Structure 1
């Protein structure tokens, strides 16, 4: 009797290398195995579990063992690249009387807190931040309450708080752009604000 020492041949379905991004889904393509004595064999999939939410290189292994105990193996390399768009960094803006709209890049990551630091000095202004299709911050008119009558003459107000302050929201949407609208309707007004990256 001739001893069988030849391992089964394991053949990948599809390519031996796959490149994905963190927005993709990994589909296991599997493999087939054939042995010169036993014929078709079942294949065991092992190695790394591909997690497309985490960038990195994963090695998926495939093995088959025949009735004589010979094992054949092969592997597939799956590379997951991070496709997140980075935040543009802390961004500062300033202006005076008028209505202004600013688009601010917050990146595509989610879960962090975005902080708006604003200063309307004394004469009241209003800061509204929209993100992901919703208003996420609305300061109302902030400034000295002595200007309530001036705002009322324009059908605006009332003043909701002091001119300097902070407001924040948690970034739950991967949309990269936040839109900040500043309403500064009174003569002599000026403002500054910064919008920080999510942390």
Structure 2
């Protein structure tokens, strides 16, 4: 995905791009991200009398407008730990610096750090969101904890599950918490409903499991 002034483009390979001319409702698009099996873009309405545009798509071709609570402008968006975070400015003065969050890209909740000033960018990594803005302002959210693993034994099969919305963690295993040589589990998770599920052979030596974020 790429965004710009009155432009929304998608590409399957980064070399060949398609401009989506049927997308309206924004004077410019300023940020795009993918998470929860959904593309989400944000932008500016160009007027303090209108809410900032938020659009979602499952395939980067068909787009749906969502209800924003921020007036005028959202400048960037990030996704991590199952949460979308969008930041920008509110020219109406109702909120000092709008921060909007959503778990699915559809329903959005207004947040605020309480500190005045325009926020230009946001990123996620190592379990936390960081936003930057005017006057050298840097904001950091609290650590986003990983969910607990659900483990079920069915005959000789071990079923390990966690919310499918969590996309930034790796399931690891070890046969000893003393030596703690953690390695990724050999089987890939399968999405079942709203859960990621890994199936493992429960026979043999005891195993210990944990979540780990890359870089931690």
Query: Quick one: higher RCO (CA 8 Å, sep 6+), 1 or 2?
Result: 1
**TM class, shorter-chain normalised?**
0.3 to 0.5
TM-score by length of structure 2 reads 0.30
